[in-house]
Amino acid sequence: MQTIRAVSPIDGERLGEFTVSSAESVRQQMRAARVAGADWANLSVKSRTSILGKLVPLLLAELDSICDIIVKSTGKVRTEALLGELYPILDLLKFYQKHADSILRRQGVVTSPFAFPGATADITRRPYGVAAIISPWNYPFQLTMAPLLTALYAGNAVIFKTSELSLPVGQLILDLCRRLDLPQDLVQWVVGDGSVGAELIDAGPDLLFFTGGLTTGRSVMQRAAQHPIPVLLELGGKDPMLVFADANLQRAADAALYGGFCNSGQACVSVERLYVQLSCFDKFLALLRQGAAKLQIGHGKYGDLGAMVSERQFDVVKAHYDDAIAQGAKASGPLERQGNYVKPVVLWQVSHDMRVMREETFGPLLPVMSFEIEDQAVQLANDSDLGLNASIWSNDISKAERIAGRLQVGNWVVNDVLKNIGHPGLPFGGVKKSGFGRYHGAEGLRQFSYPVSGLTSRSQLPKEPNWFPYSDLRYRQFKGYIDFVYGSGSLLQRIKRNWPALEAFKEYSAFDLNQRWQNLKLLLSWKRDY
């Protein structure tokens, strides 16, 4: 039996041994999830909401212990675990507690009384069945719980796989869900690396939600396509921050440091490209360097940046740093490492020829580049294969929002960073190679269900006008009807030129058929006499 040992990136502390899920156990879990999911789907949205709402007091009561597990597993500082992992889930729960029922409610659709006499139409939403969720190591609690809870509100069963680098957080999530009044096996966890993720896909879930890097995302999508399984992909970012000379420079500099170095830069929405207007570039760079020098790393009484989780990710950061320096970039200091703690570095004199400006770094490097005019800033920001998030900084709000409308991203924020992605009512997701699909907000909840369209006819007619038999005359009558509905000219003009067709269809008119027909004749007579 294969196991994985979990250790803390902070000091190597052993956090537990976890048994890797076998292919057969994953298939068994899938079968059990289908049974549990059928019972859950039959509950009303209000009933599901009532059960899931009990998670809020549970999280609040155990807030400190939850944060402790997240800190040990991810290397985050304590405040980052609280604000970046736990708080967004509480906010999302509150949003869906209030709005899930109305979002998923049956929606009536207007029908044409001519084409669909006596008919009503509606759209209902149904859960997919079993949703598989594969989450990353950088925010393992938030980025598992958010899609997991969304899937549950929508009526699905869930099988989730956290990264092999954050297994204690996976155990935490499973334990929390087991303390809710959920059907047995509604929420299950599989343990392992990418090969277990592949087994989970091959077990045939009805929907797959994946958060991670572009390369792995491609493999996930390719695997899912073999079945096929609908996928939602939240992939990487190379997010730009545009600072104009009329911005509050001190606030913007502080935001850039937070946006670039929060969680040691290990966030898909980190500020990874900073563009500053030339007329204020030197002043802004000085503010950045001063601020970066004051940032503290470590888990002491004061600490802004925690440990990096992955040795492999540090190698990426070093490769980007070395490449930039080799091509002439200047740095606020060397890339210093103390265990898994990495000192943040500001880079300038950079260009788009450098890896640090083109590839996702996912670490504590903040490259800064100048621009002169608005069009150049937009061109630089859009010069990327990725399109997740962006921020624009200017005291001219109209200008900033206009620029935001030109950026090729799925999300933007003016005069702030990162915070917009935590808004529970705003759908979050990327464009270009940053993925597709959304979660959070009404759109996110709908993505975990599918629409079913229904039409109910209450017609008492012996037959419908489009039924057999057909003839050349019938063709001309239908042609006249189409011209009456969609053709040019006033209503009176369309009635006059298509009168023979309308006469032929009078028996199919909706509601008070005879009276409507008499009214139409009186109208035409009045128009002629007038």
- Catalogue all structural domains in the chain, each as residue range(s) with its CATH number: 3-110+118-235+443-452 (3.40.605.10), 239-417 (3.40.309.10), 472-529 (no CATH)
Active-site residue identified among 67, 177, 262, 268 = 268
Rounded to two decimals, what is the model's pTM? 0.93
What number of CA atoms fall less than 13 Å from residue 223's CA on the CB side?
Answer: 21
Local structure of 503: helix, strand or coil: helix
Q: Which helix (H) or strand (E) covers residue 413, if one does?
A: strand 413-414
Look at residue 113 in the predicted model and tell me its pLDDT.
74
How high is the pLDDT of residue 509? 59
In the block, tokens 């067709």 appear at 501
The token pair at 344 is 């943040």
Which amino acid, residue 409?
Answer: V
What is the spatial distance between Cα 358 and Cα 272, in angstroms, rounded to a whole number?
A: 9
Three-state SS for 80?
A: helix
170: left (phi over 0), alpha (psi -120 to 50) or beta: alpha
**Cα 207 to chain centroid, rounded:** 14
Residue stretches of the chain with pLDDT short of 50: 510-513, 515, 526-527, 529-530
Residue 527: the pLDDT is 46
Instruction: Name the catalytic one among 80, 85, 199, 234.
Output: 234
Closest CA to 132 of 171, 161, 165, 154: 161
Annotated catalytic, 272? no
According to the model, what pLDDT value does residue 526 have? 47
* Closest to 414 measured CA to CA, from 390, 438, 447, 435: 390
- The per-residue pLDDT for 511 is 39
pLDDT at 521: 57
What span, in angstroms and rounded, lies between the C-alpha atoms of 422 and 291? 25
Distance CA(304)–CA(190), nearest Å, equals 33
Is there a catalytic annotation at residue 177?
Answer: no
